[in-house]
Chains A and B, each alone.
Chain A
Amino acid sequence: MPRPNSRTLSVKAALLGALLGTAALLPGAAQADEQYFPLQSYRVGPYAAGGTGFFGGFIDYLTLVNNRDGGVNGVKLTWDECETQYEVERGVECYKRQKNRPGVAAWNPLSVGIAYAMIDDVGRDRVPLITVNHGRTDSTDGRVFKYVFPLLLNPYSESSGIVNYIGAREGGLETLKGKKIVVLYHGSPYGKETIPIYQLLAEKYGFSVEQVEVPHPGNEQQSQWLSIRRTKPDYVVLRGWGVMNPVALKTAQKVGFPADRIIGNVWSNSEEDVIPAGDAAKGYTAITTQASGAEYPVLQEITKTVYGAGKGNLDDKKRIGSVYHNLGIVNGILNVEAVRIAQEKFGKRTLTGDEVRWGFEHLRLDPKRVEALGAKGLFHSINVSVANHEGEGRVTFQQWDGAKWKVVSDWIAPDWALLRPIIERSSLAYAAEHGIQVRDPAAEEASN
């Protein structure tokens, strides 16, 4: 084996020195008393409009906490972004790269595909994976999916919430008997995930359901809407994504189906979904876990202190308070509060991913605490536990008036009791398939 000569050694030492020096100078590098949020963001590509809003809101909230409070109990929050363009392989690359930084608190990719690809990795690396409002439904069962948190809303709860809303609008769930609902879904695993749930809900409440697929990306829907017009449904549930949503609204207008009879799901509820549809979107209603608008105290504070100091993340200030921006802010609140709760148990220092996971499993924000955080009316509450990683989030419905979203319902609870057995059936099958030991929530709570 050749021995390295002194010149080689000095070059290596110089390179090592330069590397360490660069690392120390990197902005946002996690050091002592810093908690790091790796962001697999997407600011270019087909879904950049959603990505810039969500990650912008998330960063704005972290900035607010740092500027206003000096971090969480003195622990500074840091982050950096890795561009995924919403592509799974890029998201996984980002994961491999970013996970090596110390003090990783949680992963928040806002992408079903990337989240699915990371599930095994986060279990191995013992860091929580947050899939707010999305992700695989059975990860709600924290007994099996210890590190995955579909906070606030999973796809099944979303479906139940929509049916509950339609029932309330018609004068009670019993009035749904004999009604006809069409679900227009995106031709992807995401779009198809709720097919069995709508069947189940139809059987329970006595309405008939027809589920119609729109092939990706959904920029042509003439035949689907002509068929819908022939079916003459009472409501159409729009389970879309991206360009499919405005095209659905425009094509509905084209065939004469009224927009106020179309109810959008949680990924069909943003300004980006309705603005391109113009007047065709007037009267369209969609589910949400967080209201839009900038009138909430936390939004006011962000506008004043973060944007006022020129540190806001959105390029266009008009987007403050938009649906994706507010989702990012709510996601920021949930992440930060999980860290705060975990610090109460483990100490006011940089926490490990597993400790932050504990924080998420004890994330209980009742309406009073939500109000104290300046988010009353922005979102309702959350109550996460070892067994329930979704956290009983409530939903509300907003109607587009041509210029802005307007809340048109109370906070509605999905039918969790109906959904839980199906979720458990799926999660236990996953556990058996992957050899996962199912956790005992009672025993874990007792040991805490």
Chain B
Amino acid sequence: MNLSRTARLALRLALALGLGVIYVPLGIVLLNSFNSDRTFAWPPTGFTTRWWSTAWSSSGVRDALWTSVQAGAGATAIALVLGTMAAFAVQRHRFFGRDAVSLLIVLPIALPGIVTGIALNNAFRTILEPFGVGLGLFTVIVGHATFCVVTVHNNVLARLRRTGLNLEEASADLGADTFTTFRLVTFPMMRSALLAGGLLAFALSFDEVVVTYFTAGAQNTLPLLIFGYIRLGQQLPIVNAIAFAMIVLTVIPVVLAQRLMRDTGVLRRGGTAALIAK
């Protein structure tokens, strides 16, 4: 590399500054969750753990958390099935409209969230309401699954590209049928890719608010609860505590997924969508 010392130093500095800008606001949320002053004037004046204990004992927060966990689990389960099927179809077959299928899978995250949100809202109200199914947990799961498919799909696709067909052919040559091969060879090969995709799908669902707002009806997920508090200016000290807890809850699956994805080659291929689908 023909970079001068000054250039290297400048680049390192830019990186450090950039990371600083990324982390300072998050640090402030953490700090304010211990700030005894309700207005969060800078600099903080006193220390308290009251907000954390209030948030922990609030039944509204607990209910919302439980709803979010259920929604995340449901959406992840559906995304795992649909994403894997689509990845196998796209990677193992050549057919007319293959590119269109790839595009279709990315579409829910490529289109502005509000469009997906109101389209689903409209569809649910027209189709489901006559059957007596209102907006609620079920519609939230359906909405989340729609944009979670891409994370699983991209992870499985990257894995299939890397592993090739040799092992499965060997298995077939040794007399195993399609199902046995899948159970003993294909599935174990994909397990960590599925886990990574699933974790990312869960994190994506757990944090989503744009589409959720239009599909949840009266149901409160954790992000919707926080959004409500912020909008009405209520319970702001508690928001800091919940918000920070949410960061931790979302980040754990992502860091785990990161470790798993190191060997799927998703990032190297540029599959940013798999990582940051939103």
Q: Do A and B belong to a common assembly? A: no
Where the two chains meet, the residues of A that have a C-beta atom closer than 8 Å to any C-beta of B are none
Where the two chains meet, the residues of B that have a C-beta atom closer than 8 Å to any C-beta of A are none
